[in-house]
Copies of this chain bind each other. A is one copy, B any other.
């Protein structure tokens, strides 16, 4: 009696569960400490102490019906203004609370903006490889997702492939930078080329094409890499953010949509998005955490531990002959699978008690994703297993 579409949903859910169960099975046999689980993108660094202090301060200083009560669906105006001013300081913009819509995480924001924009059959472009949940989000909004083939030399967006992919039904392009699953940070030069192609193609097809910039990993970059603010390069951009990674609070579900005045159909698009937030059942972003995050906007998780993990894993694997995309952001390493068959490689890795996510799940076979938001010790302990795996593939 379930919706027929649920068949696809449940099989999608089972793939994740199967990996989880594989880990549990291996841990039961070999002990948890002898299973090297690189599959989960769950921050392992605690939230900054300032956050919990801020929560306590909100409870002590602000009134209960205000802290725990309904506010306007877009979020507390003072919180939205504080976020806008923080962006203005960093990116030279001139946003106000009228541009900020607080959301239930980035996933909530993505669903809201897609539902706001898409008519049935509208196409949404995305550069492969890409976060697989986008398939759900676009389909749920009635759209059709159109992956743009990857450039395996750099895993930067390929502007010429973008040019070829735009059709009269193209409504939006999702950009995810820093990228999940590759860990690549898109260069400003590449993004300018993307903006240029999109401007030209939008004119050719005779209507606006939005960029939806999904940036939950914006603050997680290394080696001085710079994450460009895309609305400054392409005005018709909606930014989708989450504090899940920058404050290590993924369970709290807090993020925002930034919809600049320069967006096509502003401010109607903002008002529509607010109503869509109600219609989808979000109603508003969780209240207490909104009030607390306002007090710690300049705080951030100490990412030195991620950086240390990144270096250890990257140095260790490349020394063994593995090849990866240039890892400058997020907490992922994107490893080319020797032999080219990522499903076979992931299965072989599991025999060595190494859990990975196969690239075909991100629309790009021949690679696996490793999440290094894990204990440093686990990375060190895993190296013998990686060495055995490398030997099996004759990498050295």
Assembled-state Cα–Cα distance A110/B3 (Å): 15
CB distance from A103 to the nearest CB of B (A): 8
Determine whether the beta carbon of A3 is less than 8 Å from that of B56: no
Assembly of this chain: how many copies? 2
Residues of chain B within 8 A (CB-CB) of A110 are 281
Q: Which stretch (A145-153, A248-256, A330-338, A355-363) binds chain B?
A: A248-256
Question: Can you list 29 contacts pairing A with B, beta carbon distance less than 8 Å?
Answer: A1-B171, A1-B208, A1-B264, A2-B272, A3-B116, A3-B119, A6-B116, A6-B268, A9-B276, A43-B69, A45-B65, A47-B68, A52-B59, A52-B64, A55-B55, A55-B59, A68-B249, A68-B250, A71-B251, A105-B283, A107-B282, A133-B278, A251-B284, A251-B287, A253-B284, A253-B286, A280-B280, A281-B282, A286-B286
The answer, yes or no, to whether A212 is at the interface (CB within 8 Å) is: no
The answer, yes or no, to whether A289 is at the interface (CB within 8 Å) is: yes
The answer, yes or no, to whether A167 is at the interface (CB within 8 Å) is: no
The answer, yes or no, to whether A207 is at the interface (CB within 8 Å) is: yes
Interface residues of A in 232-289 (CB under 8 A from B): 247-253, 264-265, 268-269, 271-272, 274-276, 278-289
A 203-245 binary contact with B (CB < 8 Å = 1; else 0): 0000110100000000000000000000000000000000000
The closest CB in chain B to the CB of A9 belongs to B275
Interface residues of A in 99-118 (CB under 8 A from B): 104-105, 107-112, 115-118
Assembled-state Cα–Cα distance A268/B1 (Å): 10
Determine whether the beta carbon of A2 is less than 8 Å from that of B268: yes
Residues of chain B within 8 A (CB-CB) of A64 are 46-47, 52, 248
Determine whether the beta carbon of A116 is less than 8 Å from that of B2: yes
The closest CB in chain B to the CB of A51 belongs to B68
Residues of chain B within 8 A (CB-CB) of A253 are 104, 282-287
The answer, yes or no, to whether A340 is at the interface (CB within 8 Å) is: no
Contact partner, A140, options B51, B280, B288, Cβ 8 Å = B280
The answer, yes or no, to whether A137 is at the interface (CB within 8 Å) is: yes
Residues of chain B within 8 A (CB-CB) of A271 are 10, 13
CB distance from A203 to the nearest CB of B (A): 14
Interface centre among A118, A142, A210, A286 (most CB of B within 10 A): A286
The closest CB in chain B to the CB of A272 belongs to B6
Given the known interface contacts A108-B281, A288-B289, the answer about A13 and B249 at a Cβ–Cβ threshold of 8 Å is no
Assembled-state Cα–Cα distance A160/B142 (Å): 37
Determine whether the beta carbon of B207 is less than 8 Å from that of A1: yes
The answer, yes or no, to whether A4 is at the interface (CB within 8 Å) is: yes
CB distance from A93 to the nearest CB of B (A): 22
Total number of A residues with any Cβ neighbor in B under 8 Å: 79
CB distance from A169 to the nearest CB of B (A): 12
CB distance from A301 to the nearest CB of B (A): 10
Contact partner, A279, options B9, B45, B285, Cβ 8 Å = B9
Given the known interface contacts A2-B268, A133-B279, the answer about A65 and B10 at a Cβ–Cβ threshold of 8 Å is no
Assembled-state Cα–Cα distance A247/B252 (Å): 19
The closest CB in chain B to the CB of A286 belongs to B286
Determine whether the beta carbon of A248 is less than 8 Å from that of B69: yes
A 39-64 binary contact with B (CB < 8 Å = 1; else 0): 00011111100011001100100011
Assembled-state Cα–Cα distance A283/B286 (Å): 14
Assembled-state Cα–Cα distance A68/B284 (Å): 19
Residues of chain B within 8 A (CB-CB) of A67 are 251
Determine whether the beta carbon of B136 is less than 8 Å from that of A278: yes
Assembled-state Cα–Cα distance A111/B277 (Å): 12
Contact partner, A281, options B1, B12, B107, Cβ 8 Å = B107
